Amino acid sequence: MDLFESHKPLDKSLSRPLADRMRPRTLDELVGQEHLTAKGSLLQKAIEDDRVFSILLWGPPGCGKTTLAGIIANETKSEFVKISAVLSGVKDIRQIIEQAKKSRALYQKRTILFVDEIHRFNKAQQDAFLHHVEKGLIILVGATTENPSFEVIPALVSRCRVFTLKSLEKESILIILNRALTDPENGLDLKKNRLSHDALEHMARVSDGDARIALINLETAMLHFAQKKQINVQDIETAIEKKSLLYDKAGEEHFNLISAFIKSMRGSDPDAAAYWLERMLMAGDDPYYMLRRMIRFATEDIGMADPGALTMALNASESFRILGHPEGDAVLFQAAIYLATAPKSNAVYTAHKQVKKTIQKIGYSPVPLHIRNAPTKLMKDLDYGKGYKYAHDYKDAYIPQSYLPDDLGQQRFYFPTDRGYEKTVKHRIEAWIKLKKKIDKQP
């Protein structure tokens, strides 16, 4: 024994970080990602039966990719090798391949290779183990924060099953924090009330769905305020330098801020829209909630005045799904500013409401005979489809005829405005109405 080696138990603050100590070792301990790990799921069965196949784990930081790989390592009887694409090269891969050959030849054991941040490997490095994955010498478990479709060679993606992990919900983060706070073996071994309810809530919100950040923040706060009987929100703000804004995602202020955001876009004020958007992001609101509201806004408040608004909102949603925080935040602002500055029309929204109201009032009117489907002789004998005029047979692919039920006559629901592209639509409809009136007057 070293002369200077202490006989005292090692202080947990001087050993492995809390986030590493609290890493789950079994699927039962894992919090979140139930869509992948629930009892009876493909991944759960593969781990339980020790029949893991090559997989790519794709998800944002701190969602459990490395933890899931560790669980596979604990549960499998195969040789498990872990490398980081940041620190390893082709030489390391070759050594792993040679060792895998020996394990199979001497011990009939498979080798599972976990590659952290696999997207950091270039094409040549990924090619180095492609053949061995294909032949089954190694089973690849890769973890990446980037879309495998863009960052992993197609040949490798095609030989792996891609599992998409999600950012952790606030409720999952709270479970993880409480477990770390009270765990006597690997956690902080403290009473649950050492942190106020609001302090824990704030810590969970500002973690952005990242369990690692949440646990780092918890450890930092407890070290900084070790002498306090109870740690409050202000203490957490001091320790992690993130303010707790006046905001409750389930309460009145949530609806006040989303209302301000929507009305700022409706009022064509891009500056206010950007301000309220950032207020919600800083408070930890779900970006996908805001994206859903923007998709709705593109139809309800812009509609045909700028059909590109819906495309912009949908593209923003997909782009954020690929990029995540923080790189994808700018996508939300681009969409919000586009929607705020686009021409506005609620004509489509109003038409929808009026159609629904009319149907509720008069009921389900029968389809006129001339536009009914007539696939059989009997239907044709009953005049199904009789008199229907095929629009493409006429000039400009338009011929006036009735498409509404007989009891609705020529009723209109959609009244386009003179704003943006809808002005073009309005002129087109007016021309059709004028042509119909002209033909109706003919003997």
Ordered by where they begin, the domains of the chain are 33-164 (3.40.50.300), 170-240 (1.10.8), 252-341 (1.20.272.10), 364-441 (1.10.3710)
**pLDDT given for residue 60 in this prediction:** 84
58: amino acid identity, one letter = W
CB 261 within 8 A of CB 290: yes
**pLDDT given for residue 443 in this prediction:** 63
**pLDDT given for residue 4 in this prediction:** 37
Pairwise CA distance, residues 307 & 428, whole Å: 16
pLDDT less than 70: residues of the chain: 1-15, 241-253, 443
Q: ∠ CA 423-429-435 to the nearest 5 degrees?
A: 140
**pLDDT given for residue 315 in this prediction:** 96
**pLDDT given for residue 223 in this prediction:** 83
The answer, yes or no, to whether the previous bond of 326 is cis (omega within 30 of 0) is yes
**pLDDT given for residue 174 in this prediction:** 93
